[in-house]
A and B are shown apart, each in its own frame.
Chain A
């Protein structure tokens, strides 16, 4: 148990790790006529020790951004650096929680969490107390012998959070972690996540498509443009904590931010439609000219 206490203490005293910089990053998928430029000349900074929320129209490259930060993909141009050194591949201090569930179905809740410890090279004597501690923190101690398939969607997400937290990564990358949950569970998970975060602060990049969720959670809100992704608008969410959906509803500042963010998002989302119209119009012009 003392190992856990020590680790938590060091969390609070050490300077925040996990600054991420993207410098003029470009990323294109596919080749030739199928090539799709998802990012172009994209520069942004993820501030260490804060909750950075990334929001943008669907398909704009949010997951791509996380994959680049995690090191699963390499940029075609520009650079991604973590605490000053270039990201060359996945590392256990930058932990990604995937958009789709990625629990190991053949392991119990406890084994899922313990696997993370073993993968990080922990001695077998540490594993039991650390796993027990993290499962208590996410309120799943009573479910440790269950298999993921036996849990509800909300509980599965909490197991993923536990598994992500247990090795104390400097950076946590969360790709729409609450997508697919019903509204009620989602609200509870958001509150839950904020409480968990308050006890375990670190650098977080949280991707979402829900503006309410973004404002509820964020220290810093990054709105991406339509594809190819660039930072379109960046705003400090300096609202007091703890926040709840109810307090934000009545908060003028929160509503101002929300209104402005929705306008920007709407404008960006419309671009993909307008882009399509323009393309069609120009094609029609070409065919008309050739007649």
Chain B
């Protein structure tokens, strides 16, 4: 029938409209991933400016106001532009393939969730070129620095955050709808791959907290423009309220960025250890426990605001509790490797580095949770070191691991293993030269977010900057490897990896435009 042929044509347009109007989960996943990568390079370029200024004591390159814009934009872009969209990209590509669904449940909304992002991102970045400069109040945008005392461009920042929030919420709804409704027959919840599980839980976190963030920025907007005083003490408002609202979003947000990373690593380690994941059920429960705890610990970011001591005690106890499910995860990965038959292709290398380095970030997290000690650590480079260990060597390493792991499935070609090893070793070494010394300067008394510092911190800062430049440059190699793989290379088999298990490895490489049009049967 001619209509059938026509519809099929319609499903596979070419050129720019293919990408603009696409409702295909694979295309949208690709878009998300490229967007995230571009943002990663942009946010990384800003980090290079920061590290260049901090290379030596004294002001050499930028002025303090611009420096503050760089730290702020670097944080915002990496969180909202790079890490979150990258995980949504992985979800788009992999969740339907892993649960045997033909596509996402809400394909048109999927298109919209993505296409909001470039506009929001452009609006955010454009503030840098406005009079008075862009946001310069840190990615946490504490009031009143971000309300009464902020540049005019802040209203654009607020609107950009609203848009990013819409996009995330729609993405999350879509993921939940897909996972709950579109699993192949026989794929019970407790048979789902861990990546799917972690994303299901993450999506609920997103739906719960993105509206809170939207509320915070809306209150900022009305404080700035419509005469309200939510956060203005002079008008009867409360600047600390802002922090409570922000961190009620902000703490779950850090788990939004790390739970899918747990998922990726939990897929990769069993594959290359050729052994099933140890403690699958306890991994699921630990993820759920972390997600639950993430809602009740937010004020550990605010121990110094002058909370009542009972509040401080409560938040300390609740916070250190997170160490338990997190430790369970690390032990499970360790037990998965134990008595396996391991090989060390690039995805495995990144996953192993994740386990080591994320654990270091977890250790410093425990230290920070101990309230009396946090009075010393708070707002220093020790905190900067901590969250870069969990976010760069945690979330970003997991994303890179995932890209190497699934790239052959997406492109049909193997990446160049030699180059990938170079990429890994350069990154893994330089990232530690970059972030480890930050622990030292932080403990010794260097506050975060300062453009210039006492010469007693000079050596470690120079070391961090050198590490930073190498780490930054290494990511260009990643870009090169990806492009090279898309262009060609050794053909990948359907299974790709010897030890790989799961539905995604049963389809052809590259995965055809439409997969699982008839659902597979899962035993």
Q: Do A and B come from one complex?
A: no
- Which B residues have a C-beta under 8 Å from some C-beta of A? none
- Which A residues have a C-beta under 8 Å from some C-beta of B? none
